[in-house]
Amino acid sequence: MAPRAKRRDRIPAFKSLVWMASLAPVAVLADRIFLFGQFTGGAFVDDPVELIQHWTGMAAMIFLFLTLSITPLRRLTGINTSQRFRRLLGLFSFFYASLHVFSYFIFDQRMQLGPIAEDVLERNWILVGFLAWILLIPLAVTSTGGWIRRLGGKRWNRLHRLIYPAAVLIVLHFIWQTKVLEMEPLIYAGILVVLLAGRWWVRRRT
């Protein structure tokens, strides 16, 4: 069998692994909340809502970073099959971002539009987080091959550059929500700078 055919045969297995890894945060959350960390070694959860919001927010940011890393890694390693997982990772980023946003809507604001709008306008960190989620919506909707054909490659690529401001807003959301400046958000900000610099380098090379 030719090497290219062998690589194609491995793709379904890799996709299954990516799906399992991508759903792991949901499994960990369920274990921590309902099974008290029996399988993941977590302690009893005093505030399940806070855990859900923190866990889903972190997952959304990490999956967005993984999506941004695909192109630079492909250029550095020459492994073109990695591109096949970019859409899946991006959709999981939107999935966890949506869980994060709706956990705030449901648990914190009881789906009351007035208090939600007031909170979004009054708190900068909620505003930038909400804007980041809004920017991810058209990216998730137009992630299919059909939308690429409808929009055309150039317009589709321009639209999907919204991932850059969305990533910046997510990091700002993470930094601003902490009352005192902590190291962890700054580390993620540094990772984002490296990823954006890597993508800029790729664009210069091409």
- Domain annotation covers residue 34: no
- Domain annotation covers residue 2: no
- Domain annotation covers residue 124: yes
Q: Which of 170, 180, 161 shows the shortest CA–CA distance to 58?
A: 170
- Domain annotation covers residue 25: no
- Domain annotation covers residue 90: yes
The residues, ordered by sequence, that sit 6+ positions from 24 with a Cβ below 8 Å of its Cβ are none
Number of domains in the chain: 1
* Distance separating alpha carbons of residues 25 and 31, to the nearest angstrom: 10
- Domain annotation covers residue 3: no
- Domain annotation covers residue 148: yes
Reported as a single tens digit per residue, the pLDDT across 23-58 is: 999 988 888 887 766 666 666 567 888 889 999 999
Length of the chain: 206
Indicate the pTM of the whole model: 0.87
- End-to-end, the C-alpha distance of the chain in Å comes to 32
Reported as a single tens digit per residue, the pLDDT across 152-165 is: 889 999 999 999 99
- Domain annotation covers residue 41: no
Reported as a single tens digit per residue, the pLDDT across 123-162 is: 999 999 999 999 999 999 999 889 989 988 899 999 999 9
